Structure 1
């Protein structure tokens, strides 16, 4: 059963892009609470699915063409109060870079150890399980 936010703002879709045992993280120019390093993500636009939004945001923020491969669930984020959709994605084409210079400061491919250093708190359970199964 999923939780829905009472927030009237559109939900956020996050792209969990794993490639060659690493996950792509972005560092936002403006922190959202404790959140500095996070997954490429943004608001779901009208008429768009969570999968479509995650794919679009990955391209807009990092220049990567990705394919959504499955939902990792949804929740109301405990720090932001926003409804979040988490979408597993495979890399199709491109090299990650800061494509949205207004929003992002940097991008990084993280293995398990690097990810723990960048994000020292646990992820949403289904996302953590996906990362545990796919990162080296």
Structure 2
């Protein structure tokens, strides 16, 4: 039997490593199961929106900060969540940026913002249920792990 090609929805997202005094800014969000999830500021791109524009828009929404001078760090891409109802082809960009303003999120899902020492970032990463949530997929955190360790790569195939 031949393998049939299939079309996957494409999920494009951009996140920004905001660094100040060897601390990384993380967003605290409450998940559906009530737990707190720590993530990078950023999020999904709208149709027709570049990853850079999505990064600027989402960081402002989630943190209140205005970011400028985006610098590309890495791209993670490939099939994600295969076999679940959320399976997709992911293009996830990571950037660094200059920033200004005061921390004041307007996103109602953001319950807090925290400047975390680089050495403590990995300890806040929790993997676990529900597995269909891409943020809980360990692959998503590999670029961040490498970034905080000072060894980022430009490309991460899933």
1:126 to partner: Cα distance = 3.3
1:106 to partner: Cα distance = 0.7
Contact 1:19 1:90 in 2 (8 A): no
TM-score (norm 1): 0.73
Aligned: 1:75 with 2:77: yes
Partner secondary structure for residue 14 of structure 2: strand
1:21 to partner: Cα distance = 1.1
Higher relative contact order (CA 8 A, sep 6+): 1
Instruction: Structure 2 unaligned segments of length 5 or more: list them.
Output: 1-6, 128-137, 152-158
- Say which is worse superposed, 107-116 or 34-43, in terms of deviation: 34-43
TM-score (norm 2): 0.64
Give 1 or 2 for the bigger CA radius of gyration: 2
CA distance in 2, matches of 1:12, 1:30: 19
Partner of 1:3: none
1:127 to partner: Cα distance = 2.9
Equivalences, count: 127
- Pair 1:117–1:125, CA change in 2 (3 A): closer
